[in-house]
Structure 1
């Protein structure tokens, strides 16, 4: 057992699994979040979102003594896993959550504590915002506190496996402190842990997600090209990918989640004159809900359906088999519908247990009874297992999972 006390700040999709993984591997951990309802639920022994293996990991962490609190605690190491959105006007990072967490940490941390920022940040954020905040408080970096950036690299739906097996990057300008943090993560991480400087770690994480965004944008642009000239984009991508050096990703109704749809904007905001390709990719991917909307209109016109309330959107989450709705393409689509067009459109998602939007239905059979057109926005296992029940519907399959004759594609 490592003789170290860790306070993980932020019990969301990243912070909670990280805290549980440390605790399950005999590290003394306190998980902190300002959300009293969330902390109450954790203290009652209930996980706060669905994820394969999370319940079992939670139970092991509880047996090892993990604690939860709404207040920050004195600790040797602080791991900050709070949201880092971007300002939609300037496209720059909104670092307010990180800075707020830092202010609270500085009020109670013992001398020599290490602050590890796991939240994804734009390159230079720690130098521009974090370090000045600490220095302004009267603390000396490298003596009173140490700074490290260890960006997360996991995806909802496969978090536990990826926490254990993915490689990690530890950005530290002090190699000795970097090694201490590396040794901490090695209690559970089987992947290679690379030590580098802070700014390199910041940039590496952002470009990983930006690369994927650009690849998806290429697939989505191909979709529009093929749609304009009546070609099968899926067959074209399948054949092209037989080339040993080609790997085109799948097109879809948009890009969601808190990583791919957000991180590229950090670069656009900070380097507006140097990010033409990245900006173009963002615009293409952000345009896909509008493309889906046009396809819905075309199908309605072709089949003489005038009542939008007979259209059903299947899927609210941003990806399959998770309950995470952040930046969901379906929510983006609903935002793009004007009040008249959106009136009465039905929505259903088996992974979402509470009503989040108007006309959201909670029973699949009731949902089917109310619609003539079903738009598959998310490829949950649930819909794959229930394709046979869609045979009497007009189907717009944005995920290419349905092989019923006559299905409409992107």
Structure 2
């Protein structure tokens, strides 16, 4: 593999993972081209700016673009390493959709040359990396691919799977410091990918098979989902028994072998809310726990809407502020966000009574079109809205002192204000799911 100054890398997909990854690789000295279908994204990156909110990303991108180590394009380029970091959504029946990954691989095939390394970083169902290999083999019969039955000798192309495992808000730090699981189609593929990641990763790089690496990523997110589902289910039981779930969790976690996670209005983001379905789809007969956790967390959205509606209905005509739309604190990522789903549902029902406070949004998403809802800041919310629905634990919301909210009716789905007087509960217990 060429040295840092000569290494040519193409990163396909300049989203929440692809752009930070491309910038970090460029900072290591490689020549990186980010490929994206959006001309606006390409133009933004080439101007040294960013289109997503992530701590320190704007400064890093500005620097590597200015030094000539990073540029963006809508067209595939030749490279030594191709990193595929495109979305992997699921369809209406929760079946995984790997169409973007296969399209990216199709684009890569046109630029492949002998000795290249292809890495899939997108979260994928087990077996996807092999499908990428088979597609490349079909499109480029002039190049030998690894792990194909009957093939002898060293393959022309190396193919590996290495999932990201970063936390939004800490992506640049965790891309470097977190351990990486590198799965090769063959051991040689894994070793070649290992050499690449060692250029910019300080964490341990552990090699395995592509299928094991794919399942590892899904396992990590399913583990989180199952444990959040326990917390969400516990919060419903506590509500119906008139108990403060946050106190219960705080006390239970004093046990040396108990670590209950925090409940919320549901589970969002493009990982935990999506990836467990890939395991369920891969073996539906043997994943009842994972399926149930997904159903519990999805149902928590409807449950939260019901609690909010009950509170609003007991205060006719009163303005309501929904605090937060992002799927987690201090980011601008609204993908699969339960907060957005709750706020939009309330806006559709109560119209202009509902105002939204989201410090990471310049305008309300399309889900609010025609509802009459408006976007306000936290100071306006505190001044004008007697009802506050806390949906995201942004730091700016946490910082509001009790004196400014003592007289408010508050539904706090994140537990950020433990000193807040409890809002009136619904007259009848609500159910998580029927």
TM-score normalized with structure 1 length:
0.93
| Alpha carbons of structure 1 residues 360 and 102: separation in structure 2 relative to 1, 3 Å | farther
Indicate conservation of the 8 Å contact 1:73/1:109, yes or no: no
Q: Is the 1:391–1:404 Cα contact (8 Å) retained in structure 2? A: no
Distance between the aligned counterparts of 1:406 and 1:245, measured in 2? 31
Asked whether the equivalents of residues 123 and 202 of structure 1 are also in contact (C-alpha less than 8 Å), the reply is yes
Consecutive unaligned residues in structure 1, runs of 5 or more = none
In the alignment, which of 47, 50, 68 is matched to residue 50 of structure 2? Answer: 47
RMSD over aligned CA atoms reads: 2.0
Report the Cα distance in structure 2 between the residues aligned to 1:316 and 1:384, rounded to whole angstroms: 15
Match of 1:72 among 38, 62, 76: 76
- Aligned with residue 391 of structure 1, among 406, 422, 425: 406
Partner of 2:86: 82
Is residue 2:161 matched to residue 1:119?
A: no
Match of 1:132 in 2: 134
Contact kept, 8 Å, 1:47 with 1:54, in 2: the verdict is yes
- Between 176-185 and 21-30, report the one with greater CA deviation: 176-185
| Counterpart mapping for 1:169-248 below 5 A | 169-248=181-260
**Which residue in 2 is equivalent to 1:402?**
417
Q: Which residue of 1 aligns with 2:178?
A: 166
Aligned to 1:305: 315
How far is the alpha carbon of 1:273 from its aligned partner? 1.1
| Inter-partner Cα distance in structure 2 for 1:404 and 1:324 | 29
Within the candidate set 330, 345, 350, 1:321 is matched to 330
Q: Contact 1:334–1:342 (CA<8 Å) still a contact in 2?
A: no
Change (3 A) 1:185 1:396: same
Q: Deviation string for 1:383-410 (max 9, x for gaps)?
A: 1223443333211111111144414499
Cα distance between partner residues in 2 of 1:377 and 1:400: 10
Structure 2 residue 27 is the aligned partner of structure 1 residue 4: no
1:115-150 residue CA offsets vs partner (Å, 9 max, x unmatched): 1000000112223x3233223224331334321101
Instruction: Return the alpha-carbon distance in structure 1 between the equivalents of residues 363 and 344 of structure 2.
Output: 19
Looking at structure 2, the residues matched to 317 and 215 of structure 1 have their Cα atoms a distance apart, in angstroms, of 21
Q: Which string of whole-angstrom CA distances, capped at 9 and with x for unpartnered residues, describes residues 312-338 of structure 1?
A: 211011000001111111222246559
Conservation of the 8 A alpha-carbon contact between 1:80 and 1:117: yes
TM-score by length of 2: 0.88
Any gaps of 5 or more consecutive residues in structure 2?
Answer: 147-154, 426-434
SS in 1 for 2:33: strand
1:342 deviates by 5.4
- Render the CA deviation track for 1:349-399: whole Å, top value 9, x for unaligned: 001123313423143334444432110100111112234433332111111
1:24-39, aligned counterparts within 5 Å?
A: 24-39=27-42
**367-376 or 32-41: which moved more?**
367-376
Moved more, 140-149 or 17-26: 140-149
Q: Number of aligned pairs?
A: 405
Q: Is the 8 A contact 1:78 1:114 kept in 2?
A: yes
Aligned partners of 2:133, 2:71: CA distance in 1, in Å? 29
- Give how far 1:83 is off: 0.2
**How far apart are the structure 2 equivalents of 1:81 and 1:88?**
22
User: What is the distance in 2 between the residues matched to 1:74 and 1:201?
Assistant: 27
1:25-66 Cα deviation digits (max 9, x unpaired): 111111111100011111111111121121232233224421
Alignment partner of 1:375 is 2:377: no
**Mapped partners of 2:291, 2:229: distance in 1:** 11
Task: Tell me how far apart the structure 2 counterparts of residues 221 and 392 of structure 1 sit (CA, whole Å).
Answer: 29
